Amino acid sequence: MLGPRRWRPTAAAAGLVVLLSVTSACAPGTPDADSWRIDAQRAVSNASSAVQTAELALRQHVKGRMFDRYLQTVMVEAEKGMGKASNAISTRQPPQSERVRYQTVTSEIDGAASLVATARIAVVDRETDRYAALAARLGRAADRLQKLEDQLMHPPVAQG
């Protein structure tokens, strides 16, 4: 058992660690443009993967190749993947040179996430008549994300 003398230094050390972590986490650092672009590209790629998974699952169900319960599971996991992708980039401070693309990236991911959520709701409610149209919309969203991912391979074009 720890006596009063041992407890105080341990508690003080733990308190110092917590204080340092809290104060160092207050303001995010601004990554350089290349680092931010790599992170953005990864987030868009992950979002695209989740959207394509949801699209494929809906198309397979329409063809009678997937059970309802499994489709629900796939849609829930796709929605979780979208949330992770969104959080991964929306919490990163963009450098000044990437502010416009930051807005584009977060808007595209948020729009796709909303669409995946809409599809998940339709699946849970078994609105099977909507699946084909939702799959088509997901396909278009995946195409936009893929195009955005390709654009992120290069620095932004200078305006002027």
The string of DSSP letters for 111-153 reads HHHHHHHHHHHHHHTT-GGGHHHHHHHHHHHHHHHHHHHHHTT
pTM equals 0.79
Structural domain contains residue 77: yes
Look up residue 70 and give its two tokens: 């499994």
Structural domain contains residue 4: no
* 157 or 3, which is more confident: 157
pLDDT at 115: 98
Structural domain contains residue 22: no
Structural domain contains residue 92: yes
pLDDT at 157: 80
In percent, how much of the chain has pLDDT > 70?
A: 81
CATH code, domain carrying 68: 1.20.120.660
Interval 115-138 mean pLDDT: 98
Is a pLDDT exceeding 90 seen at residue 156? no
Cα dihedral: 65, 70, 73, 75 (round 10): 20
Angle at 116 between CA 112 and CA 117, to 5 degrees: 115
Tell me what the pLDDT averaged over the chain comes to.
87
pLDDT at 27: 53
Q: Which structural domain range is residue 50 located in?
A: 33-151
When divided into structural domains, the chain yields a total of: 1
Structural domain contains residue 10: no
Structural domain contains residue 96: yes
Residue 80, CB half-sphere, CA atoms under 13 Å: how many?
6
Is a pLDDT exceeding 50 seen at residue 151? yes
- Alpha carbons 90 and 102: distance in angstroms, whole number: 8
Count of CB atoms situated within 10 Å of the CB of 116: 27
pLDDT digits (tens, 9 = 90+) for 88-108: 999 999 999 999 999 999 999
Angle at 120 between CA 114 and CA 126, to 5 degrees: 140
pLDDT digits (tens, 9 = 90+) for 3-29: 555 545 554 445 544 444 444 455 556
Phi-psi region of 28 (alpha: psi -120 to 50; beta: other; left: phi over 0): beta
